[in-house]
Structure 1
Amino acid sequence: MTVNVGIIGATGAVGQRLIQLLDPHPDFAIEALTASGSSAGKTYREAAKWRIDAPVPDAVADTEVGETAPEAVPDDIDLIFSSLPSSVGEVVEPALCEAGYVVSSNSSNHRRADDVPLTIPEVNPDHLDLIEVQRDERGWDGALLKNPNCSTITMVPPLAALDDLAGVERVEVATLQAVSGAGYSGVSSMEIIDNAIPYIGREEGKMETETRKLLGTFDGAAVHWHEADISASCNRIPTIDGHLENVWADTAADVSPDEAGAAMTDYPSLDLPSSPDQLI
């Protein structure tokens, strides 16, 4: 069955990447695109300052961009992917859920909310059952779910493998993060040339809290956050794409390097169309 999807915030860095990933997906059909008022009414080709090193997909190039508002989203959209800035998503995403839409969001707002699933499909798919708790508590027919911060999402699967094996008690992580993680205008070129910026606003707190929620246990009514002590230090470096993380983990039980490596290598993948054959 084809899932009709809409992308809100479609012209920005994350929106463009979503289009690139979803366009060839066998299960999804991109049927609606929205952006700010200045882009509404234009074709996607006209509205987007396309920065990906591949052509704008033909399937969306001539799609008219709508305004980001519940009334502008077609009724037949099954799933909305949101790449809105957090300040905008804070208002727009709940409004879409109240209107009956299911919203999968990249923005950081609501990630820590007790009734909002924060998920990595291979790690904590059972947390998606929070959707029913959310609907009961908020009285809407839609649903809001979140993906983690970009640095958190790469660190947690290996930690989950170690936690299953030996119990993770403490984690220290130092990141070296590319400028693309800040969005196209997030770090000016002059600031980053021949430089390293040793602080990324709110990034460290996101890694520390989101990791504990992702590794937590769901009892059918709430997620009980993992009790591990997490400490993060996040740094911006002058590379375009890709993040590097140095991660130290203390476990409750002794683990050999071979045992740790095997736990990660054998950690199950979901065999989804866009997922790697081997997750870690």
Structure 2
Amino acid sequence: MNVLVTGASGFVGKAVVAELLKHGHTVTAGSRSGRDVSGARGVTLDVTDPGSVQRAVGQADPQAVVHLVGIIAEKGDQTFTRVHVDGTRHVLAATPRGARYVHMSALGAREDSASGYSSSKAQAEALVRASGLNWTIFQPSLIFGPGDDFFGRVLRELVSTAPVVPQIGDGRFPFRPVSVQDVAQAFALAAGSDLGAGQTFALTGPQEFTFRELLELELGALGRKKPIVPVPLPLMDLAVPLMQVLPSPPITRHQYAMLKEGNTAPNEPARTLFDLPMRRLPDDLPGLLRAGR
């Protein structure tokens, strides 16, 4: 099957491309750079430009489209609305009517979210459901794996920068991280069949952790011992906006809003339907952090 993957050069994209190739599909890797990815032929694809999307689809002649493009922080004209909402609209319009369409959303996506990231993901989901295509939507929780942003950068910087580790509020916000291998397998199986057609699936891992437990896991994986100090939410509410003046803030206001909301859901029915391996964060985190040094 010919499969076009958008966002193919990203963290999740590389894993999905590799998994699709393993399943025997012919993959066209769409990205703004147009470079080949994991042995798949690259094609230039900018989701904010409808002409670029149409040209990429024409080159790929896909029987399935896997749409992964997303940003975790806004920069310049790369806003959540422009990338997540308008970009999805452009990809849906270009996807052949008979093709399979598999969409990357996010756990916690809802239009009334305090996070612009989550609300824009919900708006994109609404476009997918109204598209008339043969769609499946996946909503991953925090994704861990080689090159991930949250465990490899955000949490690492949070526990490494100061002599003490700041904990947001009481640290009880729940999370259920999922491995990039589980995510890639779900996308590959859905793209190559009608499994889960017309359905939305949470993609979560086998274990739930509080935010404090994630901080403790990160410290342990890095081989460090530091006191974890709770920071009251009213103080964090003042501090996070001030951080945004930094060239690369340790946490964006949208990430902060998502952390306060938590990010968890049961791993069924996706685990069973897509036969997911359910890799465990404590098993993989030390190696991931060593590899990222």
Normalising by the smaller structure, the TM-score range is 0.3 to 0.5
Q: Give the structure-2-normalised TM-score.
A: 0.40
